[in-house]
Structure 1
């Protein structure tokens, strides 16, 4: 199959960048809803998953017909999907949104981006193989960037709460699990089906705890706009654009371009919500983003692409 030309790759590049920006702005919208409108993070996560999951499932059924239901026919696959929805989807989204509520969208998004380091550590242990030099460098950069973000370089005090740090790191661990656990399912079923069913199942399960029918917060036009953006653009459109970009430019370049997400979150949080972001914060951000670049390129080289 002939490789796409540079001109043909342009739509893929635009979609990958757009998905990252949509995700980043989604985090800032969540911060706006928590700080300005009094919404509960768990409530928002529940409805985000139920609504976005339902849309993706309908999309999967429309494009794949009966194949969209194949994932439920074997108990082994159904069990994996339930684990993905409950332990993967719920965990990665709730820890991230709760981390935002304790700090801000910029810091929470950047802390979550140390997740790939945990993925590397998992596979190093599983395969009983020491990481390569680039992966060690990525670990050092991630730790350095995190240190600067939470301390501003001072050993005497933290610039964000211990709770925010805890939930931010937990968000990164959840992201690692979310990345690793559904690999087997994604080899057999479409990403739309896996993610759509995972979100829907996770949202319905989480609703037993959150009671989403009990609405809180101040609902006005701004609340509705931010909520709709999170569901439609920050979840459904971003997800579709990213998957489509992977088919055009490949997973390596798509993942690299998605490093724009923390920058989008930081810039919108600074200019829209007035979040204070110092030069040290930007340096920590750059160091953590470099971990994504190093890990993506090292994976690329090892796979021989």
Structure 2
């Protein structure tokens, strides 16, 4: 306690954002085990994760005096929040887990990290601006990184299943929409309130498609429960809290850049714990995608940030 009290705020922020991002990445690996060994479906885990995490975030926000119920007072806010929860939050959560279920956490996380590229391209088309040299470099690195990631440098065949690739790309697109759609709400409301309601709304809407109690093929055991608890509490609630708190001690841009620890932790965990094969060219591809995030994050420093609600 005394050591934490004496710790400089900047060091606290660095430790928080790195820990939070690492937990996000590890939760993807835990989800992969649940899908491939415990026969849990992506739909089931999405519902459980979003419902519990959403309720938890709203309880914490109420405890902190943020009055989460107040967001429903305005009609525009209600409509925007519903769209954000059902299309944005549910979209990014489901596509990400579906990509993991069809492939592996490392590839799914890296493909999701293409979201900043989509955001920048969308912004340029909307504002009819010409891409800068930095943007061209980022796009080329993203394309090269994606190619190497899914082929390992050989055009003879894919090293990752096509289904996983499609879901991963859709996850990046969904994250881009999720980020852009949340920007307006985040200007008026605390991120904990917005994300909490978004998760609860998205999880509730998913129950109409795959109600959790209908799953009877799950291999239950202590390890199954521990993995589920890790995904929900450590990989979602704690990770999100650490990330949000880090912004109190760091700039949003620094927090966004350091959140790139997430794909690195997902890759390392997949290799170490799941024996996922990751070729040298796939590793280079992953590095290219992470460099892309760095380039675009620095470029976005003085514009609307896309990190307050990133990857929850």
TM-score by length of 1: 0.95
Q: Which has the higher helix share?
A: 1
CA deviation vs aligned residue, 1:53-96 (integer Å, no higher than 9, x gap): 0000111111125x311110111100000001100111000000
Deviation at 1:152, TM superposition (A): 1.4
Partner of 2:193: 193
Work out whether residues 46 and 203 of structure 1, in 8 Å CA contact, stay in contact via their aligned partners in 2: yes
Give the distance between the partners of 2:168 and 2:134, measured in 1 at CA.
24
**Conservation of the 8 A alpha-carbon contact between 1:43 and 1:210:** yes
Note the residue ranges of structure 1 that are not aligned, 5 or more in a row.
Answer: 1-5
Secondary structure of 1:210's counterpart equals coil
**Residue matched to 1:3:** none
Deviation at 1:150, TM superposition (A): 0.8
- SS of alignment partner, residue 300 of structure 1: coil
Shift in Å, 1:111: 0.7
Paired position in structure 1 for 2:244: 243
Matched, 1:91 2:95: no
Is the 8 Å Cα contact of residues 120 and 131 (structure 1) preserved in structure 2? no
1:156 matched to 2:186: no
Aligned residues: 297
1:51: how far off? Answer: 0.3
User: Which piece of structure 1 moves more, 211-220 or 89-98?
Assistant: 211-220
2:77 alignment counterpart: 77
How many Å apart are 1:213 and its aligned residue? 2.0
Match of 1:116 in 2: 116
RMSD: 1.3
Contact map agreement 2:36 2:101 (CA 8 A) in 1: yes
- What are the within-5 Å matches in structure 2 for residues 1-305 of structure 1? 7-64=8-65, 67-216=67-216, 217-300=218-301
More deviation, 107-116/292-301: 292-301
For structure 2, the 5+ residue unaligned runs are 1-6, 305-312
Q: SS where residue 130 of structure 1 aligns? A: coil
- Distance in 2, Cα, partners of 1:257 & 1:302: 18
Equivalent-residue separation in structure 2 for 1:176 and 1:64 (angstroms): 30
2-structure distance, mates of 1:178, 1:301: 20
SS of aligned partner of 1:267: helix
Q: Using the TM superposition, give the Cα deviation of residue 302 of structure 1 relative to its aligned residue in structure 2, in angstroms.
A: 6.5
What displacement does 1:301 show? 6.0
Give distance in 2, aligned partners of 1:107 and 1:8. Answer: 34
Matched-pair contact (CA < 8 Å) for 2:152–2:280: no
Cα distance in 2 between the residues matched to 1:155 and 1:277: 16
Q: CA deviation at 1:224?
A: 0.5
1:8 is displaced (CA, Å) by 2.2
* Structure 1 residues 268 and 82: alpha-carbon distance in aligned structure 2, compared to 1, 3 A threshold: same
Could you tell which deviates more after superposition, 242-251 or 212-221? 212-221
Shift of 1:214: 2.1
Secondary structure in structure 1 of the residue aligned to 2:208: helix
CA distance in 2, matches of 1:8, 1:109: 29
